[in-house]
Amino acid sequence: MITYTVHERATGETNVALRADSIIFVKEGFAWLALFFPLLWMLFNRMWLVLLGFLAVMSVLQAAAAAAGLAEMLAGWITLGASLLFAFHANDLRRWTLARNGYAFAGLVTGRDREECESRFFDGWLAAQEPEGAGGPSVGVTAPTRLPAPQRRPSASDDDVIGLFPEPNT
């Protein structure tokens, strides 16, 4: 199972479709792309302060390793360790960046994949977005409908008794 945190921009927008477009899903856990391509990952996710902090920490680590006279291989292992640590916390830093940019925590959802998580979240989210007094969702979005429970079809063997009951009609 995959877990995502859901973040929605705190605006006064009343159009549900526009609000739904601005919702962001952030995966919980390790970020593989942040391990292999940390600079590109931060640029893509518009994490400017995190990028500056990452560059500063990596520069300090490299300068400290050079000043201590460590071998290049050991300095490489230190850099790899710092990158691994960053990849473990990359999605947390992304959530922090979203919070700084006006996004609020909207929920937590789990599923087999991202599509299932999005479907589960929006099923509940759309039902909760009914305007007060309107009796329905905003213009352009239809609320999910609930189907009635399936009815049992009578069969020829309904008069038979299975189990410990002595007679069918008592």
Walk along the chain (170 residues) and give the pLDDT tens digit of each residue. 899 999 998 877 778 888 888 899 999 999 999 999 999 999 999 999 999 999 999 999 888 888 988 888 888 898 899 999 999 999 999 999 999 999 999 999 999 999 999 999 998 888 888 665 454 444 444 444 444 544 555 555 555 556 565 665 65
pTM of structure: 0.70
Residue 37 to residue 79: CA distance in whole angstroms? 13
Determine how many CB atoms are found less than 10 A away from the CB of residue 147: 5
* Residue 24 exposed, middle or buried by CB count within 10 Å (0-12, 13-18, 19+): middle
Residue 33 to residue 82: CA distance in whole angstroms? 15
- Strands 2-9 and 103-111: what pairing? antiparallel
Q: Collapse the DSSP code of 8 into the 3-class scheme (helix H, G, I; strand E, B; otherwise coil) and give the result.
A: strand
